[in-house]
Amino acid sequence: MVPTMKAPDRIYEPPGLRWNPKDSSDVKDLPKADRPREKLLAKGPSALSDLELLAVMVGSGVRGHGVLHLAARILRRFEGRLDRVNAEALQSIKGLGRARSCQITAAIELARRHLTGGRVTIEQATDALPYLQEIRAKSQEHFVCLSLNGANEVIASRVVTVGLLDSSQVHPREVFADPITDRAAAVLLAHNHPSGTLAASAEDLALTRRLVQAGELLGIRVLDHLIVSQDGLLSMKQTGVM
């Protein structure tokens, strides 16, 4: 249950727990059954409010700021939208610091990856085919870049260039501009062969090597470079080119 903000100085919780951030009391002053950790162990995580779950994640307070105070500040900072939590913004909250900010961000990201199922994960070359269907039958070569996060989930898919492909036309600057903005951890590259052949040309090999090198410098891994046509696909990684 997401706590309802009734007034700037008070967060109303489920029956049995009403806590005022201006009070000096904190977890240690609550009845033992109402303390977040004990409540989680006794009743399970679903019985806890967002405030209480955050308090468990934060762990403990700091001098002058109890754990419930810190949890309440997080909720206010993100207006209850915990899907927007990021480490940089958390560090601006007095009492959290770098380690706790990273811990909270990591926990929320881990939960999102394993529970929401909202993004496609690229585990093998064929997983990218839904993003490449439109270019497989094109009469011009299209170069596509998929931005991936640290779990190899697709953040975005974009056409970078249209026309004859060579290493001078497909510049690393154009390929990696959007993935950098996406804060991507990796990219998957692909282009079509209108002729239908799935053999990599000398230009394809040179371009792949150039982009892999550029990705290494930028800290963005090139997961694979695919060549697609109406007859199938060729994975440069699987053929040992990369």
10-residue mean pLDDT profile of the chain (242 residues): values are: 40 38 58 81 80 85 78 83 81 86 86 68 90 88 93 90 66 94 94 92 92 95 95 90 78
Q: Which CATH architecture has domain 125-235?
A: 3-Layer(aba) Sandwich (3.40)
- For residue 101, give the nearest of 85, 87, 84, 81 by alpha carbon: 87
Report pLDDT for 115. Answer: 66
CA dist 217 and 107 (Å) reads: 29
Main-chain phi, psi angles of 146, to 5 degrees? -100, 125
Report pLDDT for 166. Answer: 46
DSSP, residue by residue, 218-234: HT-EEEEEEEEETTEEE
Report pLDDT for 117. Answer: 57
Global confidence as pTM: 0.57
Report pLDDT for 188. Answer: 97
* Residue ranges covered by each domain of the chain: 4-115, 125-235
Report pLDDT for 13. Answer: 37
Report pLDDT for 19. Answer: 43
CA dist 92 and 77 (Å) reads: 9
Report pLDDT for 164. Answer: 62
Report pLDDT for 42. Answer: 84
What are the helix and strand counts (H, E) for the chain? 7, 8
